[in-house]
Amino acid sequence: MVLEAQGPTPAAQAALGKLCSSYWRPIYGFVRRQGVGPEEAKDLTQGFFALLLERRDLNAVRQEKGRLRSYLLTSLKHFMTNERSRAMAIKRGAGQRLIPLEDLRECERIGFDPPESLAADQIYERRWALSVLDQALARLGDEYRAAGTAQLFDRLQKSLTDEPDRPSPADTAREFGMTEAP
């Protein structure tokens, strides 16, 4: 996807948007774990992506050089260091404050207050994994809807939660005239 995101074509722009949305939550989680408040963390996350896009850093990324996750995390750490230096300069009267460009939807905010026992790197990895799972569920939902079985998908998705009223696999199988797998 990184290679697809390189260049000025509409397909590249779409791939770039997908990359940014995939990594927004992990980056935000890492910034929050650094002791930054929610609003400032949004600003820093948005600023990091703005700088990444402005400098076209992703154009230099090559598959054989390593993982994008590691590259982004290292870049973010450098960005945070530079922002701290800039914040010190602001206290002396120079610079401007970043303005958030978008609000998080309510469902994206859930679970962003990191447990105190996890390190920032662990939160970044966990948020990345959650983003991958969200994308997989969205794709799977699209496949079920295309096959005309959206109700089955919705029911199965409810069984993944830890809600007390979630349906059991046996209940779902009976409801849709299926047999439960052993």
Tens of pLDDT along the chain (182 residues)?
A: 555 555 666 776 777 778 778 888 999 999 999 888 999 999 999 888 888 777 776 666 655 455 778 888 888 999 998 888 877 765 555 545 554 545 444 445 455 555 567 788 888 888 888 888 888 888 999 998 999 888 888 888 888 777 777 888 888 888 888 887 76
Paired tokens of 88 = 């010190």
Is 33 in contact with 142 (CB distance < 8 Å)?
A: no
Cα gap 50→59, rounded to integer Å: 14
- Prediction pTM value: 0.50
The 3-state DSSP composition of the chain as helix, strand, coil percent (nearest 5) reads 65, 0, 35
Rounded to whole angstroms, the maximal C-alpha distance in the chain is 70
